Chain A
Amino acid sequence: MRSVRGMVSWWLAALVVTLGAAPIAAQTVDGLAVDADAELVVAVPDDTTNMDPRIGMGSTRSAYIRQVFESLVDVDAQGKPVPGLALSWKPVGDLTWEFTLRRGVTFHNGEAFNADTLLFNLDRMFRRNLDRWGVKDVTAATSFEKVYPTVSRWEKTGDYTVRIHTSEPLPNLWDAIGREPLVPREYTVKNGVDALNERPVGTGPWKMTEWKRNDSMRFERNESYWGSPPLFKRLRFQVIPEAGGRLAALRAGQVGLVDSVPPLDAGVLGRESGIKVVSSPQKLYCRIYLNARPKDKFDSGGKDGLFGDQRVRLALNLAVNKEAIVQKIFHGYAQANASPVASVAYGYAAQEPYAFDVKRARALLAEAGWKEAGSDGVLKKDGETLTLQLLFPAKHYGQGFDETTPAVAEMLKAVGVQVVIKTIDYGTLLQTVTKGTLPYNGGFAACRTSNNLDADDYLRDWTAITLINWAPYPPELAELYRATRREVDPQKRLKLLADLQRRVRDWSPVVSLYQEVKIYAVSARVLRFVPLTDLHMDFRGVALRK
Chain B
Amino acid sequence: MTEKTVLQVNDLKKYFDKPKLTKAVDGISFSVKQGQIVGVLGPNGAGKTTTIQMLLGVSTPTSGTISYFGKNFTGKETDIKQMINFSSAYANLPFRMTVWENLDIYARIYAVKNRKERIKHLLDSFGVANLAKKRMIQLSAGQKTRVMLAKSFLNWPKIILLDEPTASLDPEIADQVRKFLLNQQKSYQVTILITSHNMKEVEELCDNIIFLHHGKILASGSAKQLLKKFNMGKLKLEDLFLKITRGEYENI
Same complex: no
